[in-house]
Amino acid sequence: MPLNKNTKIKTMNKKLLILVCLFCIGLCITAKSQDTMNNVQKMSYALGANNGEQFKNLGIEIDTEMFFKGLKDGMGGTREMTDEQMQAAFMLLDQTIKDNQQKILLEEKKKGQEYLAQNKLNAGVSETPSGLQYKVIVMGTGAKPTATDKVKVHYHGTLLDGTVFDSSVQRGEPITFPLNGVIRGWTEGLQLMPIGSKFIFYIPSDLAYGDRGTQGIKPGATLIFEVELLEINPVEE
């Protein structure tokens, strides 16, 4: 769900602490199918996958052999690096993240700008003054929501390369939320839709998750959503 929240990059110390806890729990877990995992293994795998995706999005390369050595040494009280050396390593890691984030941001913004410049020339695509682009798939005949209404929708969100990052359609269950509690592209776009409509929104990063991105979405990323408006429920005061 495209929530409008200020996502912050956690310090690497906290991320590594999470991973250390994870591997302490799941150190002896080998690859298993979902059906054979117990609850601890499921939690461990979920934490590992989640953090792995974050490291991937941050462009961080992890030497797993050295990670496990550090884990073993730390648990055994035989750490080979001094506090000063550890701090220097974390500072290097933080700078690497910043450099990678800036590189990713510039690349994603360039891709988004080029895509949107071409996309608005396509038949059926309209653009609002904010830069939001949309295409009508089905135009409904019901009322249109206001920014203070709650809406019930089905949606399917993808990156420019077609990667699905979130989809109520795939989950098989629509969602309901206040329209002023989501990303700006949704708040603006859904107000154009009568009930029963289905639109495709092409949302530039400044109307989505901006320069920070969020889980599974890189900084500066342009997003594509297919959205169907099912119901409007005015918020009770």
For residue 29, the model assigns a pLDDT of 45
| 9 is known as an active-site residue | no
Q: Predicted confidence band at 10 (pLDDT cuts at 50, 70, 90)?
A: very low
Tell me the average pLDDT across 3-16: 47
Residue-level pLDDT at 111: 96
- The residue annotated as part of the active site, out of 165, 195, 200, 206, is 165
pLDDT in tens, 48-101: 787 777 777 677 888 878 877 887 898 799 999 999 999 999 999 889 888 888
* Catalytic residue selected from 149, 166, 203, 217: 166
Strands 175-178 and 133-138: unpaired
201 assigned to active site: no
The pLDDT-based confidence of 1 (bands split at 50, 70, 90) is low
129-174, pLDDT tens digit by residue?
A: 999 999 999 999 999 999 999 999 999 999 999 999 999 999 999 9
Active site residue 60: no
14 pLDDT above the threshold of 60: no
Concerning whether 225 is annotated as a catalytic residue, the answer is yes
Does residue 180 carry a pLDDT above 80?
A: yes
Quote the CA–CA distance of 22 and 25 in Å, as a whole number: 5
Give the pTM: 0.71
Domain boundaries, the chain: 12-80, 111-234
Residue among 23, 134, 155, 199 flagged as catalytic: 155
Closest CA to 230 of 172, 150, 154: 154
- In the chain, the amino acid numbered 92 is L
Are the CB atoms for 205 and 221 separated by under 8 Å? yes
Could you report the per-residue pLDDT of 184-221, keeping only the tens digit for each?
999 999 999 999 999 999 999 999 999 988 878 889 99
User: What sign has the CA pseudo-torsion 216, 233, 149, 194?
Assistant: positive
- List the catalytic residue out of 23, 199, 202, 225: 225
Whether the predicted pLDDT of 228 surpasses 70: yes
**From the candidates 97, 104, 183, 203, which is the catalytic residue?**
183
pLDDT given for residue 91 in this prediction: 94
Over range 210-234, report the average pLDDT.
90
Site of tokens 């839709």: 193
Res 9 pLDDT > 80: no
- Which CATH number describes the domain made up of 111-234? 3.10.50.40
